[in-house]
Structure 1
């Protein structure tokens, strides 16, 4: 896969899967725009790790609809055009129905959908509008195995990712005539910096038992699937959802 002379925008790219994806695109020759919300220190560290020099930070909060437009406009103003958009930014809030009060419950749903679905739909809108002007492009949305297996302790997360899948497949049909191709990557639990800090030893052991590989996904493995869906040879795979979960959840 060669992304030389391609301009790639990745949301939530300061760490984790977004960071690994930025590194992978840069290694393949792309110019990468790293979007982040607030952690400038981590974003700058990621920027330094990218191969090449044509990379830039873009600080915008994509949960704010006005920021989605501003982000795409800023990116296009700097690079000239948008070739690949990766919607990676997302949140996960615990809100187990038998433990939380109603305010916590409703706030979790509203905040989760605001970032995990509405922000992605807005980024797809402005990204597609930019791509229509230059002959097409690729959009890859990051989902989760939780969209299929259910998330009992954070149902809004699972529901938001299921909705993201449905939206992505609808857009694959709608945007194909414009030569804009949509892909989805659905990771299982991934070995990120956040996981290392937040997981207890017991939680980690339970996660490791879920996969016959006896480990979690590495961020670069998720990035590999993203790059495939963004590549020129993957156009006829538009609408595809790729599972990267180590056979921890198999769907028919």
Structure 2
């Protein structure tokens, strides 16, 4: 896969899957825009690790809809075009229905959907406006196996990712005539810094048992699937949802 001189914007790119994706695109010759909210130190570290030149940092809270338009416009002002948008940013809030009060419940739903679905939808809108003015482009949305198997402790997370899948496939149909191709990558649990910090030993052991590989996905493995969907030659995979979960959950 060659992304020489392609202009790529990745949300939530300061660490984890976003960081691995930024590194992978840069290694293949792309110029990468790293979007992040607050973690300036981590964003700068990721920026410093990118191969090549011409990369930029974009600090925007995409959960605010006006910032989505500003982010795309600032990116296009900087690079002249947008070739690839990767909607990777997402949040996950525990809100077990039999354990939390109503305020916590509604807050979890509103905040989760605002970032995981509405922000992605808004960015898709403004990205499509930019891409239709050039020669088209690619949009890759990062979902989750939770969209298919259910998330009993975080139902808003699973629901937001299921909605993201449906939106992506709707846009794949609508935007194909404009040469804008939309795909989805649905990872299982991934070995990130966040996982290392939040998982208890028991939780980790249970997760490792879910896959016949007896391990979690590596961020680089998820990034590989993202690059495939964004690559030349993958146009006819528009609308596809690629599972990256180590056969821990198989859907028909």
Bin the TM-score by the shorter chain: over 0.9
CA distance in 2, matches of 1:204, 1:153: 16
TM-score (norm: length of structure 1): 1.00
Alpha-carbon shift at residue 202 of structure 1 (Å) = 0.4
CA distance in 2, matches of 1:50, 1:199: 29
CA distance in 1, matches of 2:128, 2:10: 14
Aligned to 1:208: 208
CA distance in 2, matches of 1:19, 1:127: 21
Residue by residue over 1:167-226, the C-alpha shift from the partner in whole angstroms, topping out at 9 and shown as x without a partner, is 000000000000000000000000000000111100000000000000000000000000
1:148-187 equivalences under 5 Å are 148-187=148-187
Structure 1 unmatched runs, 5+:
none
Aligned to 1:109: 109
| Alignment pair present for 1:32 and 2:32 | yes
CA distance in 2, matches of 1:197, 1:116: 22
SS at match of 2:233: helix
CA RMSD of aligned residues (A): 0.3
CA distance in 1, matches of 2:52, 2:232: 22
CA distance in 1, matches of 2:53, 2:204: 38
| Alignment pair present for 1:2 and 2:27 | no
Aligned to 2:77: 77
SS at match of 1:233: coil
TM-score (norm: length of structure 2): 1.00
CA distance in 2, matches of 1:45, 1:236: 36
Residue by residue over 1:58-82, the C-alpha shift from the partner in whole angstroms, topping out at 9 and shown as x without a partner, is 0001100000000000000000000
1:11-160 equivalences under 5 Å are 11-160=11-160
Alpha-carbon shift at residue 53 of structure 1 (Å) = 1.4
Aligned to 2:248: 248
Alpha-carbon shift at residue 132 of structure 1 (Å) = 0.3
Alpha-carbon shift at residue 232 of structure 1 (Å) = 1.0
CA distance in 2, matches of 1:19, 1:77: 23
Residue by residue over 1:92-129, the C-alpha shift from the partner in whole angstroms, topping out at 9 and shown as x without a partner, is 00000000000000000000000000000000000010
Structure 2 unmatched runs, 5+:
none
SS at match of 1:9: strand
CA distance in 2, matches of 1:10, 1:207: 27
Structure 1 segments (4+ residues) deviating >2 Å: none
Residue by residue over 1:107-162, the C-alpha shift from the partner in whole angstroms, topping out at 9 and shown as x without a partner, is 00000000000000000000010000002000000000000000000000000000
SS at match of 1:232: coil
Query: How many corresponding residue pairs?
Result: 252
CA distance in 2, matches of 1:204, 1:5: 40
